């Protein structure tokens, strides 16, 4: 649109509008998450037995979250469809999951931190709404 406006007003394109837009929107394409660039612990604290994390968790904003064990791997199941997110153990009661969608650029890594009958999903917690309770 800016190029068209330049053509109408000046008869030629006055600047590289594509490069300007790319520089302004570059931060929107960076991966998200506090573990981006962090080296995985070489000797992580072991997780609790997987069954201790399994269950249904509630959140007033996002609704129901199911944590299930599927073939020895924990999965998050969020939403009515549901969105299935396999978890990878990070350290202790912290797992990670990856997202790649219109809101989470490629390379996004989110933490799922379990404690005291709840799980906090970092990606969904930007506004403090990412705590799910049993």
For residues 45-68, average pLDDT: 96
- Predicted pLDDT of residue 108: 92
Query: Is the same domain home to 24 and 45?
Result: no
Residue 27: pLDDT over 90: no
Query: Is the same domain home to 86 and 108?
Result: yes
Query: Is the same domain home to 22 and 35?
Result: no
Give how many domains the chain has, as a whole number. Answer: 2
Specify the pTM.
0.81
For residues 100-112, average pLDDT: 88
Query: Is the same domain home to 44 and 103?
Result: yes
Query: Is the same domain home to 10 and 62?
Result: no
Judge residue 98's burial from the number of C-beta atoms within 10 Å of its C-beta, 0-12 exposed, 13-18 middle, 19 or more buried. middle
Residue 62: pLDDT over 80: yes
């Amino acid at each position: 649109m800016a190029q068209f406006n330049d053509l109408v007003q000046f008869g030629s394109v006055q600047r590289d509008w594509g490069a300007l837009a790319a520089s302004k929107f570059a931060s929107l394409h960076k991966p998200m998450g506090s573990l981006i660039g962090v080296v995985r612990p070489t000797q992580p604290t072991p997780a609790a037995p997987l069954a201790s994390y399994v269950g249904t968790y509630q959140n007033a904003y996002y609704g129901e979250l199911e944590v299930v064990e599927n073939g020895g791997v924990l999965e998050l199941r969020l939403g009515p469809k549901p969105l299935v997110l396999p978890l990878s153990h990070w350290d202790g009661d912290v797992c990670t999951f990856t997202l790649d969608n219109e809101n989470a650029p490629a390379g996004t890594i989110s933490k799922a931190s379990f404690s005291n009958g709840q799980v906090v999903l970092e990606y969904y917690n930007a506004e403090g709404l990412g705590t799910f309770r049993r």
